[in-house]
Structure 1
């Protein structure tokens, strides 16, 4: 196959020459950061949202459940449905939908409109996340694909640990509606960046829904998805309600919540890069450590979180461990299905967001039925179950996809 100035064809995959695709990779990383931040925004704003819309904390938490559930369904469906369209066009359209959802949430006069807004966010989030996973190989030379993929997924990891405290800070300074409006503005900026920095990305290989589902026949994939489901469900059952828990256990004021969540976030970023290096060598060993630390830390919050200092320490350890979940589980799945990256990523996104929805729902039921402390025990128990599955299930021989 002849090589041109613009692209080369390597192994049937179009590849950008060195240095030409990295701005596009940065734009895609910005997109993953924005969609996951938008998804998780209610976590640090549950109390003011519930007060403004006149619903309980458990009901307010359903704004996260709805988004996660829609994202879980849309990711494996949109990937094959939009497979024949240019990826740049698809990403820009989905970012536009997500932006509209955030702006609608900022304006919402009641809970019903908020739910509708969160549905739009879920569709945009699920589609962007699933499609972004397979773009690195089309933007940079083959020798840089690993680094580019890590950068794209770092947007997800950083959003998972910094998006919540950022939203909490904006909400404290200017109100929860301002936090959603800021997310809408960020989405618009990223949309422009995608349109300007990405090259044309015409459809290459058709991904069928049946092919995505057939990956579940691989024991390594099934084990990885089970670990994702347990860890993420347990984490969000507890973390969705971390604000009311901290207010009840530690007696912290609203202004201190943002600081504690920032401590969590900074530790989470460090955990992301530490776990990424470990997962490249052994995803099983890395996830064993993550699961054990999460299980013990979450369960200890009601016991040892009685002061701001101990609560901050526990949140730092929590963030350090959870910050490595997305990169480690993604490494597990890509190593399990190296020839089906986009299909594996669609499954990963579907299960990940389904687990977010289930965790928020289970946490809401526990919070409304047994009190917010119950969500900590529930979350810790699920992380312990993930530890058992990781230890006993079949894993890929290497973390390298």
Structure 2
């Protein structure tokens, strides 16, 4: 009876506290995934590995999360969501604290495998919780708040942690995120009600869930287009962004502690981009994603040509952040419009491809950094985001959104 009141009753003061707890969890798992982006140089130097090898800290959890997102969503269909989310968030804490104490890259990568399991499962399950936490009239706003945790982590969490690492060292940054995960674990346990699974247990329920995962992209052209856009946009962004620290330090010659400050400016621009893109994404995700892709392409191309120009490079990073800040809300809006009758399955697929694209971008970026130049890295990222822009524009011939 308690669960029915939570899902269907009138708004209560605690509803938004529950949404805030889930948002903190999403913010924490995504910050943990992307944390190495701003710390590759000191991690590589301390552990005695190349920047490309250190980039595996982003690749490994992304690959694991891409596999685990749909699998955990299906296997946990009959489980209490609160229990699963609390367990996954505890795993985030363990993984980050283990990384902070690690003395070898193999230990670090092992901890990042555990993190990947937690990321895939938490993000996939949290994305569909809003209807169970707030009344129907508030579901849209609550969903936006939850997915705002993804954007905030991408554009604010990493720069803030990078700035903190200038004072505490990279180990201190990982330990800090581990402590934040413990806080999020406590918040989820204290604030979430029991959330029984929405499907039966057993082999038949799992088979039905896997069937939906396979059928949706096969039968829905708009979902297929959205997955392509996700792959191109996120891979192009993270191919370059995974190595933004060496780009700033070596390509445009931003020195020392200013790297963290510039990345923090990038994060603030990204938050602004998220809010600016939101209304447009609700009306037309296709046009919004086309504009954002064009902005990313322009920023990456100009940054590739701005070698040695410190002020121009810093300004272009702000444009980059402004454009990427709206990508998550744009893509999520695309999938909600593409499959309104099965948003949870569409979100699981979106999360899987998003995480896979992070891993692919970091992997390709590492290969390029070790084999070519930072300029080539930026040009390659721009080529992928340009392809995304063209895909969004051409999709208008089939889709009106």
Shorter-chain TM-score: which interval? over 0.9
CA contact (8 A) 2:65 2:355 kept: yes
Q: What CA deviation, in whole Å up to 9, does each residue of 1:64-104 have, x standing for no partner? A: 00011111111011100111110000100000111110011
The reply on whether 1:200 has 2:201 as its aligned counterpart is no
Which residue in the other structure is 1:329 paired with?
331
Which residue in the other structure is 2:217 paired with?
216
Alignment of 1:247-258 (within 5 A): 247-258=249-260
The reply on whether 1:120 has 2:114 as its aligned counterpart is yes
Give the root-mean-square deviation of aligned CA atoms.
1.5
Alignment of 1:253-268 (within 5 A): 253-268=255-270
Residues 396 and 131 from structure 1, CA distance in 2 versus in 1: closer, same or farther, beyond 3 angstroms?
farther
Name the CA distance, whole Å, in 2 between partners of 1:241 and 1:391. Answer: 29
Name the CA distance, whole Å, in 2 between partners of 1:336 and 1:36. Answer: 25
Residues 70 and 391 from structure 1, CA distance in 2 versus in 1: closer, same or farther, beyond 3 angstroms?
same
CA contact (8 A) 1:7 1:17 kept: no
Residues 8 and 174 from structure 1, CA distance in 2 versus in 1: closer, same or farther, beyond 3 angstroms?
closer
Which residue in the other structure is 1:91 paired with?
85
Which residue in the other structure is 1:392 paired with?
394
State the shift of 1:307 in Å: 2.9
Name the CA distance, whole Å, in 1 between partners of 2:97 and 2:388. Answer: 37
CA contact (8 A) 1:236 1:360 kept: yes
Residues 28 and 179 from structure 1, CA distance in 2 versus in 1: closer, same or farther, beyond 3 angstroms?
same
Residues 332 and 242 from structure 1, CA distance in 2 versus in 1: closer, same or farther, beyond 3 angstroms?
same
Structure 1 runs not aligned, ≥5 long? none
Aligned length: 391
Residues 173 and 226 from structure 1, CA distance in 2 versus in 1: closer, same or farther, beyond 3 angstroms?
same
Name the CA distance, whole Å, in 2 between partners of 1:179 and 1:306. Answer: 29
Alignment of 1:233-244 (within 5 A): 233-244=235-246
Q: 2:282 aligns with which of 280, 283, 295?
A: 280
Which residue in the other structure is 1:18 paired with?
11
What is the TM-score with the length of structure 1 in the denominator?
0.95
Name the CA distance, whole Å, in 2 between partners of 1:176 and 1:182. Answer: 10
Name the CA distance, whole Å, in 2 between partners of 1:215 and 1:221. Answer: 7
Residues 396 and 76 from structure 1, CA distance in 2 versus in 1: closer, same or farther, beyond 3 angstroms?
farther
Q: What CA deviation, in whole Å up to 9, does each residue of 1:249-296 have, x standing for no partner? A: 222222010011011000000101111111000001101100111011
Name the CA distance, whole Å, in 2 between partners of 1:190 and 1:17. Answer: 26
Name the CA distance, whole Å, in 1 between partners of 2:81 and 2:9. Answer: 15
For structure 1, which segment, 357-366 or 201-210, has the greater mean C-alpha deviation from structure 2 after superposition?
A: 201-210
CA contact (8 A) 2:3 2:194 kept: no
Name the CA distance, whole Å, in 2 between partners of 1:33 and 1:112. Answer: 26
State the shift of 1:16 in Å: 4.5
CA contact (8 A) 1:367 1:373 kept: no
Name the CA distance, whole Å, in 2 between partners of 1:182 and 1:17. Answer: 38
State the shift of 1:302 in Å: 2.4
Alignment of 1:2-401 (within 5 A): 7-8=4-5, 14-19=7-12, 20-205=14-199, 208-217=209-218, 218-304=220-306, 306-393=308-395, 397-398=400-401
Give the SS at the match of 2:379. Answer: helix
Give the SS at the match of 1:208. Answer: helix
Residues 162 and 213 from structure 1, CA distance in 2 versus in 1: closer, same or farther, beyond 3 angstroms?
same
Give the SS at the match of 1:21. Answer: helix
